[in-house]
Protein backbone atom coordinates (compact mmCIF):
# COMPACT_ATOMS: atom_id res chain seq x y z
CA UNK A 1 0.00 0.00 0.00
CA UNK A 2 2.86 2.33 0.82
CA UNK A 3 4.37 1.79 -2.64
CA UNK A 4 1.04 2.32 -4.41
CA UNK A 5 1.13 5.85 -3.01
CA UNK A 6 4.83 6.64 -3.17
CA UNK A 7 6.28 4.70 -6.12
CA UNK A 8 3.73 4.04 -8.87
CA UNK A 9 5.05 3.17 -12.33
CA UNK A 10 3.64 3.97 -15.76
CA UNK A 11 4.46 0.69 -17.50
CA UNK A 12 3.83 0.93 -21.25
CA UNK A 13 4.01 -2.84 -21.77
CA UNK A 14 1.56 -3.59 -18.96
CA UNK A 15 -0.74 -0.83 -20.19
CA UNK A 16 -0.88 -2.21 -23.72
CA UNK A 17 -1.47 -5.72 -22.40
CA UNK A 18 -4.34 -4.39 -20.29
CA UNK A 19 -5.81 -2.53 -23.24
CA UNK A 20 -5.60 -5.61 -25.48
CA UNK A 21 -7.28 -7.75 -22.82
CA UNK A 22 -10.08 -5.22 -22.36
CA UNK A 23 -10.58 -4.86 -26.10
CA UNK A 24 -10.94 -8.63 -26.52
CA UNK A 25 -13.31 -8.86 -23.56
CA UNK A 26 -15.54 -6.10 -24.96
CA UNK A 27 -15.63 -7.69 -28.43
CA UNK A 28 -16.67 -11.00 -26.87
CA UNK A 29 -19.15 -9.22 -24.60
CA UNK A 30 -20.89 -7.71 -27.61
CA UNK A 31 -21.92 -11.23 -28.65
CA UNK A 32 -23.41 -12.11 -25.23
CA UNK A 33 -27.23 -11.83 -25.04
CA UNK A 34 -27.12 -11.42 -21.25
CA UNK A 35 -24.77 -8.45 -21.65
CA UNK A 36 -27.21 -6.84 -24.07
CA UNK A 37 -29.97 -7.34 -21.49
CA UNK A 38 -27.94 -5.73 -18.71
CA UNK A 39 -26.98 -2.80 -20.95
CA UNK A 40 -30.66 -2.20 -21.66
CA UNK A 41 -31.47 -2.33 -17.94
CA UNK A 42 -28.78 0.26 -17.15
CA UNK A 43 -29.97 2.45 -20.02
CA UNK A 44 -33.56 2.29 -18.72
CA UNK A 45 -32.44 3.20 -15.19
CA UNK A 46 -29.78 5.80 -15.91
CA UNK A 47 -30.09 6.89 -19.53
CA UNK A 48 -27.12 7.40 -21.82
CA UNK A 49 -24.17 8.01 -19.50
CA UNK A 50 -20.57 6.87 -19.72
CA UNK A 51 -20.49 6.41 -15.94
CA UNK A 52 -22.76 3.36 -16.11
CA UNK A 53 -22.31 0.21 -18.10
CA UNK A 54 -19.21 -0.93 -20.00
CA UNK A 55 -16.82 1.23 -21.94
CA UNK A 56 -16.77 0.92 -25.71
CA UNK A 57 -13.86 -0.49 -27.69
CA UNK A 58 -13.34 3.04 -29.04
CA UNK A 59 -13.02 4.38 -25.48
CA UNK A 60 -10.43 1.71 -24.63
CA UNK A 61 -8.46 2.57 -27.77
CA UNK A 62 -8.53 6.26 -26.80
CA UNK A 63 -7.05 5.71 -23.32
CA UNK A 64 -3.90 7.75 -22.72
CA UNK A 65 -1.28 6.30 -20.36
CA UNK A 66 0.38 9.64 -19.70
CA UNK A 67 -2.88 11.37 -18.78
CA UNK A 68 -4.04 8.40 -16.73
CA UNK A 69 -0.80 8.42 -14.75
CA UNK A 70 -1.15 12.15 -14.10
CA UNK A 71 -4.64 11.59 -12.66
CA UNK A 72 -3.38 8.71 -10.51
CA UNK A 73 -0.51 10.76 -9.11
CA UNK A 74 -2.86 13.63 -8.28
CA UNK A 75 -5.40 11.42 -6.52
CA UNK A 76 -2.80 9.59 -4.45
CA UNK A 77 -0.67 12.63 -3.60
CA UNK A 78 -2.60 13.18 -0.37
CA UNK A 79 -3.28 10.30 2.02
CA UNK A 80 -4.54 12.67 4.68
CA UNK A 81 -8.22 12.09 3.89
CA UNK A 82 -7.96 8.32 3.40
CA UNK A 83 -9.42 5.89 5.91
CA UNK A 84 -7.92 2.40 6.02
CA UNK A 85 -10.12 -0.38 7.36
CA UNK A 86 -8.90 -3.87 8.27
CA UNK A 87 -10.85 -6.99 9.14
CA UNK A 88 -9.52 -10.49 9.72
CA UNK A 89 -7.54 -12.68 12.06
CA UNK A 90 -4.47 -10.59 12.91
CA UNK A 91 -2.47 -9.46 15.93
CA UNK A 92 -3.56 -5.95 16.92
CA UNK A 93 -0.13 -4.80 18.13
CA UNK A 94 1.55 -6.11 14.99
CA UNK A 95 -0.86 -4.46 12.57
CA UNK A 96 -0.70 -1.21 14.54
CA UNK A 97 3.06 -1.14 14.10
CA UNK A 98 2.73 -1.89 10.39
CA UNK A 99 0.15 0.88 10.00
CA UNK A 100 2.38 3.38 11.79
CA UNK A 101 5.34 2.39 9.62
CA UNK A 102 3.74 2.20 6.19
CA UNK A 103 0.53 4.24 6.43
CA UNK A 104 1.45 6.88 8.98
CA UNK A 105 4.39 7.96 6.80
CA UNK A 106 2.37 8.47 3.61
CA UNK A 107 2.37 11.98 2.09
CA UNK A 108 -0.34 14.40 3.19
CA UNK A 109 -1.04 17.82 1.68
CA UNK A 110 -4.10 18.84 3.69
CA UNK A 111 -6.43 19.14 0.71
CA UNK A 112 -10.11 19.61 1.51
CA UNK A 113 -12.36 17.93 -1.06
CA UNK A 114 -15.89 16.68 -1.48
CA UNK A 115 -17.81 14.71 -4.08
CA UNK A 116 -20.15 15.90 -6.80
CA UNK A 117 -23.54 14.44 -7.66
CA UNK A 118 -23.33 13.64 -11.39
CA UNK A 119 -25.88 10.80 -11.37
CA UNK A 120 -29.13 11.12 -13.30
CA UNK A 121 -32.43 10.93 -11.45
CA UNK A 122 -34.12 7.54 -11.31
CA UNK A 123 -36.85 7.20 -13.94
CA UNK A 124 -40.47 7.85 -13.08
CA UNK A 125 -43.41 6.14 -14.72
CA UNK A 126 -43.28 2.82 -16.54
CA UNK A 127 -40.51 1.92 -18.97
CA UNK A 128 -40.65 -1.30 -21.00
CA UNK A 129 -38.10 -2.44 -23.55
CA UNK A 130 -37.50 -5.60 -25.55
CA UNK A 131 -34.00 -6.74 -26.51
CA UNK A 132 -33.43 -9.20 -29.36
CA UNK A 133 -30.12 -11.03 -29.09
CA UNK A 134 -28.93 -14.63 -29.36
CA UNK A 135 -30.50 -17.86 -30.50
CA UNK A 136 -32.59 -20.64 -28.99
CA UNK A 137 -35.95 -20.52 -27.25
CA UNK A 138 -35.24 -18.74 -24.00
CA UNK A 139 -36.24 -15.31 -22.76
CA UNK A 140 -35.16 -13.47 -19.61
CA UNK A 141 -37.32 -10.86 -17.91
CA UNK A 142 -35.94 -8.28 -15.49
CA UNK A 143 -38.24 -5.93 -13.60
CA UNK A 144 -37.05 -3.22 -11.21
CA UNK A 145 -39.21 -1.13 -8.89
CA UNK A 146 -37.39 1.93 -7.54
CA UNK A 147 -37.98 5.20 -5.77
CA UNK A 148 -36.72 7.53 -3.05
CA UNK A 149 -36.10 6.13 0.43
CA UNK A 150 -34.04 7.37 3.35
CA UNK A 151 -31.58 4.57 4.16
CA UNK A 152 -31.65 2.88 7.54
CA UNK A 153 -31.09 -0.61 8.87
CA UNK A 154 -34.81 -0.93 9.61
CA UNK A 155 -35.70 0.09 6.05
CA UNK A 156 -33.17 -2.38 4.66
CA UNK A 157 -34.50 -5.17 6.85
CA UNK A 158 -38.11 -4.49 5.86
CA UNK A 159 -37.24 -4.33 2.18
CA UNK A 160 -35.37 -7.62 2.41
CA UNK A 161 -38.34 -9.21 4.16
CA UNK A 162 -40.68 -7.98 1.42
CA UNK A 163 -38.33 -9.31 -1.27
CA UNK A 164 -38.04 -12.60 0.60
CA UNK A 165 -41.81 -13.09 0.68
CA UNK A 166 -42.09 -12.07 -2.97
CA UNK A 167 -39.36 -14.53 -3.90
CA UNK A 168 -41.31 -17.35 -2.24
CA UNK A 169 -44.58 -16.36 -3.93
CA UNK A 170 -43.03 -16.13 -7.39
CA UNK A 171 -41.26 -19.46 -7.05
CA UNK A 172 -44.49 -21.14 -5.96
CA UNK A 173 -46.57 -19.51 -8.71
CA UNK A 174 -44.25 -19.30 -11.70
CA UNK A 175 -42.30 -22.50 -11.29
CA UNK A 176 -44.27 -24.90 -9.14
CA UNK A 177 -47.86 -24.05 -10.17
CA UNK A 178 -47.48 -22.79 -13.75
CA UNK A 179 -44.29 -24.66 -14.60
CA UNK A 180 -43.26 -21.68 -16.68
CA UNK A 181 -39.80 -20.64 -15.47
CA UNK A 182 -36.34 -22.11 -15.41
CA UNK A 183 -35.62 -20.03 -12.32
CA UNK A 184 -36.90 -16.89 -10.62
CA UNK A 185 -35.64 -14.48 -8.00
CA UNK A 186 -36.61 -11.35 -6.12
CA UNK A 187 -34.20 -9.24 -4.11
CA UNK A 188 -33.88 -5.71 -2.76
CA UNK A 189 -31.16 -3.21 -1.96
CA UNK A 190 -30.85 0.40 -0.83
CA UNK A 191 -28.73 3.14 -2.38
CA UNK A 192 -27.23 5.68 0.02
CA UNK A 193 -25.63 8.08 -2.45
CA UNK A 194 -25.83 10.15 -4.50
CA UNK A 195 -29.60 10.14 -4.04
CA UNK A 196 -31.05 7.86 -1.35
CA UNK A 197 -33.39 5.28 -2.82
CA UNK A 198 -34.50 1.67 -3.00
CA UNK A 199 -34.54 -1.02 -5.67
CA UNK A 200 -36.60 -4.21 -5.73
CA UNK A 201 -35.63 -6.47 -8.61
CA UNK A 202 -37.47 -9.46 -10.07
CA UNK A 203 -35.93 -11.76 -12.66
CA UNK A 204 -36.93 -15.00 -14.33
CA UNK A 205 -36.15 -17.04 -17.42
CA UNK A 206 -38.85 -18.67 -19.52
CA UNK A 207 -40.03 -19.69 -22.97
CA UNK A 208 -40.43 -16.57 -25.17
CA UNK A 209 -44.03 -17.46 -25.92
CA UNK A 210 -44.96 -17.35 -22.22
CA UNK A 211 -43.46 -13.97 -21.30
CA UNK A 212 -46.75 -12.03 -21.26
CA UNK A 213 -48.53 -14.78 -19.31
CA UNK A 214 -45.87 -14.88 -16.61
CA UNK A 215 -45.49 -11.11 -16.34
CA UNK A 216 -49.24 -10.97 -15.72
CA UNK A 217 -48.81 -13.66 -13.06
CA UNK A 218 -46.12 -11.57 -11.36
CA UNK A 219 -48.45 -8.60 -11.09
CA UNK A 220 -51.25 -10.85 -9.85
CA UNK A 221 -49.00 -12.02 -7.01
CA UNK A 222 -48.02 -8.44 -6.19
CA UNK A 223 -51.67 -7.35 -6.17
CA UNK A 224 -52.62 -10.25 -3.92
CA UNK A 225 -49.79 -9.37 -1.53
CA UNK A 226 -50.95 -5.75 -1.46
CA UNK A 227 -54.63 -6.63 -0.97
CA UNK A 228 -54.38 -9.56 1.42
CA UNK A 229 -50.87 -9.57 2.84
CA UNK A 230 -48.57 -12.59 3.14
CA UNK A 231 -49.45 -15.84 4.87
CA UNK A 232 -48.18 -16.44 8.40
CA UNK A 233 -45.98 -19.25 7.07
CA UNK A 234 -44.28 -16.99 4.53
CA UNK A 235 -43.74 -14.27 7.13
CA UNK A 236 -41.96 -16.77 9.36
CA UNK A 237 -39.90 -18.02 6.40
CA UNK A 238 -38.81 -14.47 5.57
CA UNK A 239 -37.90 -13.76 9.20
CA UNK A 240 -35.96 -17.02 9.50
CA UNK A 241 -34.12 -16.22 6.30
CA UNK A 242 -33.08 -12.82 7.66
CA UNK A 243 -31.85 -14.31 10.92
CA UNK A 244 -29.99 -17.12 9.18
CA UNK A 245 -28.38 -14.75 6.69
CA UNK A 246 -27.16 -12.54 9.52
CA UNK A 247 -25.56 -15.46 11.34
CA UNK A 248 -23.67 -16.45 8.20
CA UNK A 249 -22.64 -12.85 7.46
CA UNK A 250 -21.29 -12.22 10.95
CA UNK A 251 -18.63 -14.89 10.32
CA UNK A 252 -17.42 -13.26 7.10
CA UNK A 253 -14.66 -10.66 6.95
CA UNK A 254 -16.26 -8.87 4.01
CA UNK A 255 -19.49 -8.29 5.95
CA UNK A 256 -17.61 -6.59 8.79
CA UNK A 257 -15.54 -4.61 6.29
CA UNK A 258 -18.67 -3.34 4.52
CA UNK A 259 -20.37 -2.30 7.76
CA UNK A 260 -17.29 -0.51 9.10
CA UNK A 261 -16.77 1.20 5.73
CA UNK A 262 -20.39 2.38 5.68
CA UNK A 263 -20.04 3.69 9.23
CA UNK A 264 -16.97 5.71 8.24
CA UNK A 265 -18.42 6.98 4.95
CA UNK A 266 -21.92 7.86 6.15
CA UNK A 267 -21.14 8.63 9.80
CA UNK A 268 -24.24 7.02 11.25
CA UNK A 269 -24.41 4.74 14.27
CA UNK A 270 -27.36 3.11 12.49
CA UNK A 271 -24.86 1.53 10.11
CA UNK A 272 -23.59 -0.62 12.97
CA UNK A 273 -27.01 -1.61 14.32
CA UNK A 274 -26.97 -4.93 12.51
CA UNK A 275 -24.05 -5.93 14.72
CA UNK A 276 -26.04 -5.45 17.92
CA UNK A 277 -28.54 -7.67 19.80
CA UNK A 278 -31.51 -5.41 19.00
CA UNK A 279 -31.22 -6.45 15.37
CA UNK A 280 -33.00 -9.71 16.24
CA UNK A 281 -35.74 -7.69 17.93
CA UNK A 282 -36.24 -5.79 14.69
CA UNK A 283 -36.60 -9.08 12.83
CA UNK A 284 -39.13 -10.29 15.39
CA UNK A 285 -41.13 -7.08 14.88
CA UNK A 286 -41.83 -7.91 11.23
CA UNK A 287 -45.50 -8.75 10.70
CA UNK A 288 -47.84 -9.64 7.88
CA UNK A 289 -49.30 -6.14 8.21
CA UNK A 290 -45.93 -4.41 7.91
CA UNK A 291 -44.97 -6.47 4.85
CA UNK A 292 -48.37 -5.79 3.25
CA UNK A 293 -47.95 -2.05 3.85
CA UNK A 294 -44.47 -2.13 2.36
CA UNK A 295 -45.76 -4.01 -0.70
CA UNK A 296 -48.33 -1.27 -1.22
CA UNK A 297 -45.72 1.46 -0.83
CA UNK A 298 -42.73 0.05 -2.73
CA UNK A 299 -44.21 -2.16 -5.46
CA UNK A 300 -45.92 0.57 -7.46
CA UNK A 301 -47.61 -0.41 -10.71
CA UNK A 302 -47.04 3.11 -12.03
CA UNK A 303 -43.27 3.18 -11.44
CA UNK A 304 -41.07 0.35 -12.67
CA UNK A 305 -38.92 -0.76 -15.59
CA UNK A 306 -39.26 -4.05 -17.46
CA UNK A 307 -36.62 -5.26 -19.88
CA UNK A 308 -37.13 -8.55 -21.72
CA UNK A 309 -34.57 -10.50 -23.69
CA UNK A 310 -35.86 -12.38 -26.73
CA UNK A 311 -33.96 -14.49 -29.30
CA UNK A 312 -33.09 -12.58 -32.46
CA UNK A 313 -35.63 -14.62 -34.48
CA UNK A 314 -38.43 -12.90 -32.56
CA UNK A 315 -37.43 -9.44 -33.78
CA UNK A 316 -39.31 -9.82 -37.07
CA UNK A 317 -42.49 -10.89 -35.28
CA UNK A 318 -42.24 -7.87 -32.98
CA UNK A 319 -42.03 -5.51 -35.94
Tell me the chain's radius of gyration from C-alpha atoms. 24
Contact 299, 222 (CB under 8 A): yes
- Whether residues 62 and 168 share a domain: the answer is no
Q: 182 pLDDT band (50/70/90 cuts)? A: confident
Q: How many domains does the structure of the chain reveal?
A: 2
pLDDT in tens, 203-251: 999 999 999 999 999 999 999 999 999 999 999 999 998 888 888 888 8
Query: Distance between CA atoms of 203 and 213, rounded to whole angstroms?
Result: 15
CA distances from 138 to 33, 124, 217, 235, 264 (A): 11, 29, 18, 33, 44
For residue 274, what pLDDT is reported? 61
Residue 110 lies in a domain: no
User: Among residues 87, 102, 117, which one ends one of the domains?
Assistant: 102
- Whether residues 197 and 285 share a domain: the answer is yes
Residue 192 lies in a domain: yes
b vs e for 249-258, b when ≥16 Cβ sit within 10 Å of the residue's Cβ? eeeeeebbee
- Whether residues 148 and 285 share a domain: the answer is yes
Give the pTM. 0.89
Query: 211 lies in which domain range?
Result: 126-318
For residue 316, what pLDDT is reported? 65
131: domain CATH number? 3.30.830.10
- Whether residues 220 and 294 share a domain: the answer is yes
% of the chain with per-residue pLDDT over 90: 69
Amino acid sequence: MHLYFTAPRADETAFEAFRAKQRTALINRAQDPNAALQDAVFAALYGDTIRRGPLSVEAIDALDLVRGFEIYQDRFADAGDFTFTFTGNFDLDEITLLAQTYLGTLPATGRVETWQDVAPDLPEGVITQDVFKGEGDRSVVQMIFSGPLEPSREAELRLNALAGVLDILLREKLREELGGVYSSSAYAFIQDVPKPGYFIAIAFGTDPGRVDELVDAVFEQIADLQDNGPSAINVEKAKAQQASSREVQLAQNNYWLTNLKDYVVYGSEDKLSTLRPEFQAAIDALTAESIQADAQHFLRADRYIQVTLFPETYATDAE
